[in-house]
Amino acid sequence: MTTTSPADADREVVHAGRPRPRRGISLSDAGPPIALVVIFGVFAVLSPDFRTVSNVQNVLDAAAVLAVVTCGISFVLMMGSIDLSAPGIMGASAIAVALLVANNRNDNDFGLFGVAVAVLLGAALGCLSGLALVVLKVPSFMTTLGVSAVGLGVATLMFAGVQPNVTDPMLEGWAVERFLGLAHLTWIAVACVLVGALVQRYSRLGRYAFAIGGAEEVLGLSGVRVAPYKVAVFTMAGAFYGLAGVLVTSQLGAGLVQAGRGYDFSAITAAVVGGTLLSGGRGGILHSVVGVLLVTVLTNGLVQVGVSPYWQGGVQGLIVVAAVAAAVLPQRRRNQVTK
Amino acid sequence: MKFTSRHTAAVIGVTLAAATLTGCTEEAGGGGTAAAAGACDPADVTLVGQVRNESNPYEAAWLDGGDAFAEQVGLTQERLTYDGDSTRQQEQISQLLAGDTECLVMNVLPNGDSDTPPIVEGAEEAGAYLVTQWNKPADLNVTDYDSWLSHITYDGVESGKQIGDALAEAVGGSGGIIALQGILDTGAAKDRFAGLEESLAANPDVELLDDQTANFSRAEALEVTKTLLTKHGDDVKGIWAANDDMALGALEALQQAGRDDVAVVGIDAVPDALTAIEDGTMTATVSSDGPWQGGIGLAIGYCVATGELAVEDIAAEDRAWYAEQFLIEQDNVADFVSPETDEADFACDNLFSRSQGAMS
Amino acid sequence: MTTNLQTQPDPRVPAPAPALEVRSLVKHYPGVKALDGVDLVVRQHEVLGLAGENGAGKSTLLKALVGLVRPDGGEIWVRGEKVRLRSVVDAADHGIGMVFQEQSLVPNLTAAENIVLGSEGPGVRRGIYRWSTMRRLAQEQLDKIGSHIDPLARTDTLTFADRQMVEIAKVLRIEERTSHPPVIILDEPTSVLESKEIETLFTQVRRLREFASVVFVSHRLDEVLDVCDRVAVLRGGRSVGEVPAADAAPADLHRMMIGSTGSDDHYHGGAGERPDEASRPRLVVRGLSGKSFRDVDLDVHAGEIVGIVGVHGSGREDVCRALFGAEPTTAGEVVLDGEKLDLSGTRAACAAGVGYVPAERKTEGMVGPMSVADNMTLTKQQSRCTGPLVRPRKQATLVDRWIERLSIRTPHRGTAIQSLSGGNQQKVVLARWLVAGDVRLLLLDHPTRGLDVGARSEVYRLMRELADSGVATVLLADSLEEAIGMSDRIIVMSDGRATTQVAAPAGGKPTPLDLVKEMV
Amino acid sequence: MSAPVLTTPAPDAVVPGRPTVGQRLTSFMPVIALVVLLAALTVADPGFLTLSSLTAAVRTSAPLVVLAAGATLVVLCGGIDLSIAALCSLATVFFALWLPDLGGLTTFAIIAATGAIGALQGVAHVLFRIPSFIVTLGGMSIFSAIALVISDAGPVRVVDRDATNWLTLYVGGVVPMAFVVALVLVAAVSLVLRLTPLESWIRATGYSESAARLAGAPVDRVKIAAFTVSGACAGLAAVMLVSRNFSGSPTMADNLLLPAVAAIVVGGTAITGGHGSLWRSLAGALVVTLLRVGLPIVGVPSAYEQILYGAIIVAAVALTLDRSKVLIIK
């Protein structure tokens, strides 16, 4: 949970001799995709149910929500911050959207506009974490934890004891209707990933988020005011969580306060497994997507090959550690700082 | 770092001094009022209802039922929630019991079986009137305690069996089903599954293809069902869920998979499930009357606290009992759509009218 | 547009307004007067050297010039106009930019992005990057200084010297912000460069003069005189004088800096007895190989200082770290005083009496927020302990003694080491190996990097003293002159191999040229 | 040694060696936050500030204090331990299962076992250079899985209460024994750190691992030790939980993870390592406990309780964080 100072980075290079300047993907980036292919292959051999087309569809559909959450969290991790606010923000936006589209609680029927409001609510809550980070100078670990609690509170307030059920055909359709074999939800997630990747590559926000993770102090020396970008990144992450809340609501057909339970750690796990460093400055959306698929394939595959549900979590944990170890070990140096 | 050293010394000093001077005792300050005294002024009674969270319709309705009862006797209910966190429930209870416990009435939903003993013992020690519902270890006897007035639950084995039978009927007496279990650490989940097993024994042509836990959660049920549907495909004719939330999650999964030929049953009779039964998408559920549960626990405590009912006058069979429940299917669902509490249910001489007999 | 009017060439005024002028600048820090009325004039199209010891106020002055420090008094004039500089951006808008002493590039961005960072201009439209434009902008900057770096290479894959070029290219971006020749400040640009790289840099600096004014800061006085037109000297927060570079010798500058006649030969060449060459060496290295070096043989006698020289990539730093167990080895044997040295880790090396002063003082040499005392006793814990217990009083006595012996200037032994000046920090780091009195082999990796003349001189004196007391020393010097001046013997390394050995006894020193021939 | 060549007058350095009033205030901030919170709760419900109520609160806080204290060591070294809660849950199950065989020795066996498990994580961390976040995240799910399997996913009742009864006693009639144990633990660990080179090593490791290593500090061993103590503390906390709940359960302590980390941060320990202390975590744990149990008890409705919890915890950190010690807030 710390940054590598530029000096460390310098040294790394000096000691590694003189690597050729590179632009593309390095060998260390190839680890997670290889792991994904290997794990997929192993399950495919072990379980005939796993290698069916319908199961592959199922895996992709199941990965949709996590992918959207991970899109958001990747930007935050890239900056070297951390974000635990997904459960709260998703809960709030899930209830909000359920109350805004056609539902059994009130006469609202705002359709897409309601979805937009829920996403905005997520963005606003994300903005709150960002503001607390830059204004109060409280570490993101705490601000996002606090905002998560606030989000759950807001969700509980709106919930008011009666489950809001979605009757809006559009929102329900997202989870049911299919295009090219995948649910609309999954296509929305794919779109999110594309947007995320474009933002990361082509927008100042994305590049600065990356730079903040690399050497925040340098940005200051170059006359870049970092704070607005940090707030913007958290806001964007919040919007992604908001959308994820909407997707969960669409899947469940109802707004649940617990819509986002567990997504914080799963998303971090996915991002890290995909090769994003918690210390920031490395990784990205496409890395994270590989991580999401890895985690989802694991979950699905373990059920398919019939591993006891008790053990599933443990096996997953073990594989995550092993995956990271496999990625880290070849690059191990003496006196390397590991936090 | 100055913070450290001086503090260290001070704290160690004080503790050691305290320890050596006074020795150790078993009692904290206060507490320990005689239990069954039962002479509280009705206005002095504090009513507390505690459930997991308010973000669950059944439990929110429970608290609302408690409010309704409180209003009936001119009091307010303190609503506590612990977010399904056993530790937090214990913490809240012990904090509550550290306050004024003289006329305290608690209607508690323990998070799991194992959470009941410490709550019971805390209440006993502090002399607070306690009614628990749903979860209790089988070997813990209510009659051994004075201030633990009653334990109410539904016969989970019976519920599990009833919906199991209904499911068997719905699939035409033969075919594969999958089961979604609740939180494995709860008596309710275990009993209900035992009921399903009884039902399966009685319907030998119904085959249990798979059982997985979805922790009573709608979202988890959705995921688990999706995976199991892929795994077993068209062999699945029915889904047995240990509560309605999971049944509703399973319904979503079925809808997303484009399957409308699978029967789904659940337990609890939450409003959404009732609607689903009305629509015909769900087959059956068993009623658990949340509002009544929220009121009755407080009512028992209130009656004892105000002296209208003495603990020793409560029959042993009413100290731990099964409440009345109904199998709800499409033909009788209309009767249950809007549960109302009936003030008469909470009258001190009518408290145990819904009893279906002592817990076995 | 007043600026433009004022800088219009006026036939009645013979010389144009100075590019930059500082008038009686004052800056107080709690307890310290960092700037005490500094005056400075930077003419257009000149390279002005700025010299002064650590603590003379150089860095504060430079920071004030780029808006990182708000002065308490005095004025800054840019091309005849009085300005207030509130931030780096402000300074850049006035055409002032600085290459910072510690490289300030974002390692995980491309060179192009670093060059345009903070002033992307047409490279970013509505928050969206236009990579082709960005690349072109960066290429223009790189072309200006004649560098052939790929603008889209990730910065952390570039060599150190290339990164320095990127920094200069980046600083030149400020040209785009103003219509005037910019003022470029180079703060210690050479401190980590090898001689060849320095030469390239100087060529660029001379080119810069064509269209900009340059303020050049370095501790190497010969360099300053080499590249600058004029040198201004600071002492104790005041300007003490200016000399045209052509007329001055390093000794003159040095005299001005310290305010008295200093010895030109600050290397204190081998005053003690010559180590007995015939005796068994204290350190015997045979066939040491690692990732970036092969088959290195090395002998160091007690009381001897052996310098290792070589260009970047020669592997000398890694050999040094390997001897301390901080870099893995694949083959070879190291014997210290007849006993095989365990190279598995730094602990073992410390226990065997090996000491190491890393080049990166701030990140590797010291623990910044910890006190002087704790830093000094970090390694030799036994020196402040009785059995397993720390004895604060024992530590205090010991630390105070060493603070006095090495004349470390610190308000208190409990002061955080990061608030000391570089030279004093380095002395604490050195003292770390001395407090227990059991050090037998000292590995010094650029021990004088970033230190001023006075502090250097003290470090040299200390090294000499340690050698005389029998410590064997391996020195990776900051400059060839330093290596020659300090060492009794010099090993030349090239491409990971120790190629040549040159004796350098007092009175029989080789010339830098001799060594350079061997190095390439 | 001869007089230094330096003739420039030394800057009149009067930077005081002793902390200023402001610095002192920052170091007491956790306590101030605690007092302010207590006062606020008392204003909200005057009945809250009673001896028995405070007694109950500190009794409640004991396991959290112990968990947070252990994890503080790891945080001081610059890492993080996310496995404490899951390990604690696992330990409650172990305790319940072992008690019939081991009797009075169970407590020690548990602490030894969890210490060993902690050490194992530490070894994995330093040997394979896997970030502690990942190692302990993996540990978290593995311990949970083991706990579920060996307990058959259900609570294990503890019938023989003699082994844990001592923890339910009260010292001097008012101070719960569990809290005294927690205090003694914090005091003892702090004292050991202070009196031995350990504190130097831990702080050096946390502030700058590479510098510590190059100074010959036993960085790897210090880290493993920190994880060991953290694990052992999880074991002790488990014993406390069992003494309170009369059972072990595979999920019993799982929800204490975020409160424990919150306690550390609220105490003002820098999550990046180096700066902080166990005493700060003690104060932090009390603040978090007051928030967890105090808010609902004084009658804050559950929805607002969560909002307030979130807001207060951020405010508390804003108050206690010594920003002069942390340059960049991530």
Report the number of distinct structural domains present in chain D: 1
User: What's the helix, strand, coil split of chain C in %, to 5?
Assistant: 35, 25, 40
Residue among D29, D128, D323, D330 with most chain A CBs within 10 A, to mutate:
D330
Query: Is the pLDDT reported for residue C453 higher than 80?
Result: no
Comparison of pLDDT for A98 and C89, the residue scoring more: A98
Task: Tell me whether residue D72 is exposed, middle or buried, using C-beta atoms within 10 angstroms of its C-beta: 0 to 12, 13 to 18, 19 or more.
Answer: buried
C268, C367, C370, C382, best to mutate vs chain D, most D CBs in 10 Å = C367
Whichever domain contains D82, its CATH number is: 1.10.3470
Instruction: For residue D272, give how far its alpha carbon lies from the nearest alpha carbon of chain C (Å).
Output: 13
Q: Are residues C373 and C351 in the same domain?
A: yes
pLDDT at residue B13 is higher than 80: no
Q: Which residues are paired to B80 by β-bridges?
A: B50
Q: How far is A228 from chain D (nearest CA, A)?
A: 14
Q: Given A81, A269, A310, which is nearest D145 (Cβ)? A: A310
pLDDT tens digit sequence for B263-312: 999 998 888 888 899 989 999 999 888 889 999 999 999 999 998 888 88
pLDDT above 60: residue B19: no
What residues in chain D have their Cβ under 8 A from chain C's Cβ atoms?
Answer: 1-2, 4-18, 194-197, 200-201, 203-204, 207-208, 210-218, 274-275, 325
A328 shares contact with chain D (CB less than 8 Å): yes
Mean pLDDT throughout B329-355?
83
Q: Residue B8 pLDDT > 60, yes or no? A: no
Average pLDDT estimate for D104-121? 95
| Residue B131 CB neighbours (<10 A) | 24
Residue C251's pLDDT band (cuts 50, 70, 90) = confident
Distance from CA of D223 to the nearest CA of B (A): 21
- Section D25-47 average pLDDT: 88
Q: What pLDDT, on a 0 to 100 scale, did the predictor assign at position D325?
A: 60
Whether the CB of A22 is below 8 Å from some CB of chain C: the reply is: yes
The pLDDT score that the predictor gives to residue B49 is 94
Taking only residues 41 to 100 of chain A, the set having a beta carbon closer than 8 angstroms to any beta carbon of chain D reads 79-82, 84, 88
Per the listing, tokens 């399950």 go with A43
When pLDDT is cut at 50, 70 and 90, the band that residue D21 belongs to is low
D interface mutation test: which of B26, B95, B116, B217 has the most D CBs within 10 A? B95
C196 touches chain A (CB under 8 A): no
C308 band by pLDDT with thresholds 50, 70 and 90 = very high
State the pLDDT at residue B54: 84
Same domain, yes or no, for C169 and C210?
Answer: no
pLDDT, mean of residues B211-236? 87
- What's the per-residue H, E or C state across C240-302? EEEEEHHHCCHHHHHHHHHCCCCCCCCCCCCCCCCCCCCCCCCEEEEEEEECCCCCEEEEECC
Contacts of A258 in chain B (CB under 8 A): 55, 217, 219
Instruction: Give the residue from chain D lying closest to C363, CA to CA.
Output: D211
SS3 C66: coil
A178 membership: H or E segment, kind and range: strand A178-179
Residue C254 belongs to some domain of the structure: yes
What lies within 8 Å, CB to CB, of C458 at 6+ separation is: C406, C407, C423, C427, D4, D5, D6
Whether B15 has a pLDDT exceeding 50, the answer reads: no
Mean pLDDT computed over A78-105: 93
Chain A contact for D2 (CB, 8 A cutoff): no
Q: For residue C332, what are the contacts with CB-CB under 8 A and spacing of at least 6?
A: C285, C286, C287, C288, C289, C295, C296
Contacts of A24 in chain C (CB under 8 A): none
**What is the mean predicted confidence (pLDDT) over B133-156?**
89
Contact A161 B255 (CB under 8 A): no
For residue C154, the 8-state DSSP code is B
pLDDT score, position C261:
42
pLDDT of residue A237: 97
Give the A window 137-176 contacts with D, CB below 8 Å.
137-143, 145-154, 156-157
C58 and C166 assigned to the same domain: no
Confidence of residue D16 (pLDDT cuts 50, 70, 90): very low
Shortest CA gap A27–chain D (Å):
18
> Confidence class of residue C262 from pLDDT cuts 50, 70 and 90?
very low
* Model pLDDT for residues D164-204, shown as the tens digit of each residue: 888 888 888 889 999 999 999 999 999 999 999 999 999 99
Helix (H, G, I), strand (E, B) or coil at C492: strand
Task: Please report, rounded to a whole number, the percentage of residues in chain D having pLDDT higher than 90.
Answer: 56
Taking 70 as the threshold, does the pLDDT of residue D58 lie above it?
Answer: yes
Binary contact (D258, A311; C-beta < 8 A): no
Minimal C-alpha gap between A295 and chain C (Å):
27
**pLDDT per residue over B107-124, tens digit each?**
999 988 888 999 999 999
Count of C-beta atoms within a 10 Å radius of residue C200: 16
Question: Average pLDDT, whole number, for chain C?
Answer: 83
Question: Which pLDDT tens digit goes with each residue over C177-194?
Answer: 777 788 889 888 776 677
Last residue of a domain, one of C149, C177, C205: C177
Q: Which domain holds residue D192?
A: 48-317
Domain ranges of chain B: 35-154+289-324+338-358, 156-286
pLDDT over 50 (residue B34): no
Say whether both C370 and C474 belong to one domain. Answer: yes
Q: Are residues C163 and C192 in the same domain?
A: no
Is the pLDDT confidence value at B23 over 70? no
d(CA D300, CA B92): 13
Q: Give residue C263's pLDDT band: very low, low, confident or very high (50, 70, 90).
A: very low
Architecture of domain B35-154+289-324+338-358: 3-Layer(aba) Sandwich (3.40)
pLDDT value of residue D143: 95
Q: Which long-range contacts (CB under 8 A, 24 or more apart) does A308-312 make?
A: A308/D149, A309/B212, A309/B213, A310/D145, A310/D148, A310/D149, A310/D153, A311/D145, A311/D149, A312/D145
**pLDDT tens-digit series, residues B280-294:** 999 999 988 888 999
Chain C residue numbers touching D201 (CB-CB < 8 A): 378
Question: What pLDDT score does C259 carry?
Answer: 63
- DSSP secondary structure string for all residues of C113-146: HHHHTT--GGGEETTEE-HHHHHHHHHHHHHHTT
pLDDT of residue A303: 80
User: What's at D59, amino acid-wise?
Assistant: R
pLDDT value for B260: 87
* Closest residue to D314, CB basis, from A80, A132, A272: A132
Q: Is residue D245 in some structural domain?
A: yes
A309 pLDDT more than 80: no
Would D29 be classed as within a structural domain?
Answer: no
Number of residue pairs across A and B with CB atoms under 8 Å? 87
Higher pLDDT pick, A309 / D247: D247
Predicted pLDDT of residue D322:
73
> Is A146's CB within 8 Å of D214's CB?
no
Comparing C261 with C257, the larger pLDDT belongs to: C257
- Look up residue D80 and give its two tokens: 């993080």
Give the CATH number for residue C484: 3.40.50.300
Condensed to tens digits (0 to 9), the pLDDT of residues C87-115 reads 887 888 888 888 887 668 888 899 999 98
Q: Which residue of C has its CA nearest to A220?
A: C88
Percent of chain C, pLDDT > 90? 18
* Identity of the residue in A161, A252, A309 whose CB atom sits nearest the CB atom of B57: A161
Residue D119 has pLDDT above 90, yes or no: yes
Q: Which domain holds residue C455?
A: 283-519
Instruction: Flag whether pLDDT at D99 surpasses 60.
Output: yes
- Confidence at residue B165, expressed as pLDDT on a 0 to 100 scale: 94
Q: Which DSSP state fits B287?
A: B
Give the span between the Cα atoms of C100 and C185, in whole angstroms.
8
The ipTM is 0.83
Residue with tokens 């930059």: C20
Chains touching chain A through at least 3 C-beta pairs below 8 angstroms are B, C, D
CA angle C194, C196, C202 (to 5 degrees): 100
Please determine, for residue B324, whether its predicted confidence score (pLDDT) is greater than 80. Answer: yes
Residue C484 is predicted with a pLDDT of: 86
On chain C, the residues whose CB falls within 8 A of the CB of D215 are 346, 367, 375, 378-379, 432
How far is the C-alpha of D149 from the C-alpha of D129, rounded, in Å? 29
Higher pLDDT, A6 or D79: D79
Q: What is the pLDDT of residue A193?
A: 96
Please identify among residues 139-178 of chain D the ones whose CB lies closer than 8 Å to any CB of chain A: 139-142, 144-146, 148-149, 153
DSSP state of B33: -
Chain B contacts of D252, Cβ < 8 Å?
A: 86-87
- Within a domain: C268: no
CB pairs under 8 A between A and D: 176
In this prediction, residue A23 has a pLDDT band, given cuts at 50, 70 and 90, of: very low
| pLDDT value for C5 | 41
Contact A15 C363 (CB under 8 A): no
What's the confidence (pLDDT) of residue C496?
86
Q: Which residue has the higher pLDDT, B197 or C280?
A: B197
Residue C391: closest C-alpha in chain D: D195
Counting one residue from C and one from D, how many pairs have CB atoms under 8 Å apart? 137
- Given 3-state DSSP classes, what are the helix, strand and coil percentages for chain D, each rounded to the nearest 5? 75, 0, 25
The confidence score (pLDDT) of residue C320 equals 92
Q: Which chains touch C (3 or more CB pairs under 8 A)?
A: A, D
Q: Find all residues with CB under 8 Å of D44, minimum gap 6, and list them.
A: D298, D299, D300
Q: What percentage of chain B carries pLDDT values higher than 90?
A: 43
Q: Are residues C82 and C121 in the same domain?
A: no
Kindly state whether residue C342 falls inside one of the protein's structural domains: yes
User: How many CB contacts within 8 angstroms connect chain A with chain C?
Assistant: 125
Domains in chain A, please, with CATH? 30-37+46-331 (1.10.3470)
- Average pLDDT of chain A is 85
**Is D116 a domain residue?**
yes
- Closest chain B residue to D48, measured at CA: B99
Query: What is the least distance, in Å, from the CA of B89 to any CA of chain D?
Result: 9
CATH class of this structure's domain B156-286: alpha beta
pLDDT at B29 over 50: no
- Span D120-141, pLDDT tens digits: 999 999 988 888 988 999 999 9
Burial letters for C173-183: b for 16+ Cβ neighbours within 10 Å, e otherwise? bbbbbbebbbb
For A119-168, how does the pLDDT look when each residue is reduced to its tens digit (9 = 90+)?
Answer: 999 999 999 999 999 998 888 988 999 999 999 999 999 988 788 888 89
For residue D157, the SS3 value is strand
pLDDT band at D18 (very low <50, low <70, confident <90, very high): low
**Dihedrals φ, ψ of D280, to 5°?**
-60, -40
Flag the least confident range among C396-400, D161-165, D207-211, D313-317: D161-165
Check CB contact of C158 with chain A, cutoff 8 Å. Answer: yes
The overall pTM is greater than 0.90: no
- The mean-pLDDT minimum among A324-338, B121-135, B224-238, D121-135 falls in A324-338
Residue type, position B326, single letter: F
B in contact with C (at least 3 C-beta pairs within 8 A)? no
Closest-CA residue in chain C for D3?
C407
Q: Which whole number is the average pLDDT over A170-186?
A: 89
Flag whether pLDDT at C317 surpasses 80.
Answer: yes
Q: Could you give the number of structural domains in chain C?
A: 3
Q: What is the pLDDT of residue D6?
A: 28
Tell the burial category of A45 from Cβ atoms under 10 Å away from its Cβ (0-12, 13-18, 19+): exposed
**Has residue C4 been placed in a domain?**
no
Stronger pLDDT, A226 or A241, i.e. the higher one: A241
Copy the structure tokens of residue B262.
């699978």
Min Cα–Cα distance to chain C from A166, Å: 37
The nearest alpha carbon in chain D to A217 belongs to D328
Q: How far is A180 from chain D (nearest CA, A)?
A: 36
Residue pointed to by tokens 């001896």: D51
- The whole-angstrom distance between C88's CA and the closest CA on chain A is 5
The pLDDT, as a whole number, for residue A123 is 97
